[in-house]
């Protein structure tokens, strides 16, 4: 009779340990997903604060001049990607918190669509924050 009582206790303890393990595993994954979501929200929020405009992109020249418009002063940017949509040419430059940035090495033609996308320090590339079609 004593063995049957011990079996019940052992089974109960094992079930409690399995339940605790399952709760721990589920909470670990849920907490990680929440943290990942929080990071993505922070990145998107920082990207939305940034605004750039193309000041100069003249047909026949090789320079594109970009200006950081007011806003997002608390957001650091490590790179600016300047791309030509029609040619697929990308140039990256380090803005170093400068207000006006000149990117060289292009062959600007009429009809070129130039787009700007900032890159955050953690490597996240923001959506296009400025564009211009050269006349």
Phi first, then psi, for residue 57 (nearest 5°) are -155, 95
Q: Is the separation of the CB atoms in 97 and 67 below 8 Å?
A: no
Q: Tokens at residue 97, please?
A: 């918190």
Q: Mean pLDDT across the stretch 47-76?
A: 82
Q: Mean pLDDT across the stretch 89-109?
A: 72
What is residue 27's predicted lDDT score, i.e. its pLDDT?
Answer: 93
Helix residue ranges per DSSP H, 50-75: none
Q: Mean pLDDT across the stretch 90-102?
A: 69
Query: The pTM is what?
Result: 0.64
Q: Does the structure show a pLDDT above 60 at 83?
A: yes
Q: Does the structure show a pLDDT above 90 at 81?
A: no
Q: Is the separation of the CB atoms in 127 and 118 below 8 Å?
A: no
What is residue 106's predicted lDDT score, i.e. its pLDDT?
Answer: 76
Q: Does the structure show a pLDDT above 70 at 90?
A: no
On the CB side of 60, how many CA atoms lie within 13 Å of its CA?
A: 0
Q: Mean pLDDT across the stretch 41-57?
A: 86
In angstroms, rounded to a whole number, what is the distance separating the alpha carbons of residues 19 and 22?
Answer: 5
CB neighbours (10 Å) of residue 21?
Answer: 10
């Amino acid at each position: 009779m004593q063995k049957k009582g011990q079996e019940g206790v052992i089974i109960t303890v094992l079930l409690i340990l399995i339940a605790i393990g399952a709760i721990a595993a589920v909470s670990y994954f849920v907490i990680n997903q929440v943290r990942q979501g929080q990071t993505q929200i922070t990145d998107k929020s920082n990207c939305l604060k940034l605004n750039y405009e193309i000041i100069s992109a003249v047909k026949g020249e090789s320079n594109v001049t970009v200006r950081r418009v007011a806003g997002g002063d608390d957001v650091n940017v490590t790179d600016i990607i300047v791309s030509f949509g029609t040619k697929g040419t990308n140039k990256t430059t380090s803005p170093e918190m400068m207000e006006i940035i000149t990117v060289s090495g292009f062959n600007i033609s009429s009809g070129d669509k130039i787009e700007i996308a900032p890159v955050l320090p953690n490597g996240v590339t923001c959506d296009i924050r400025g564009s211009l079609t050269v006349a």
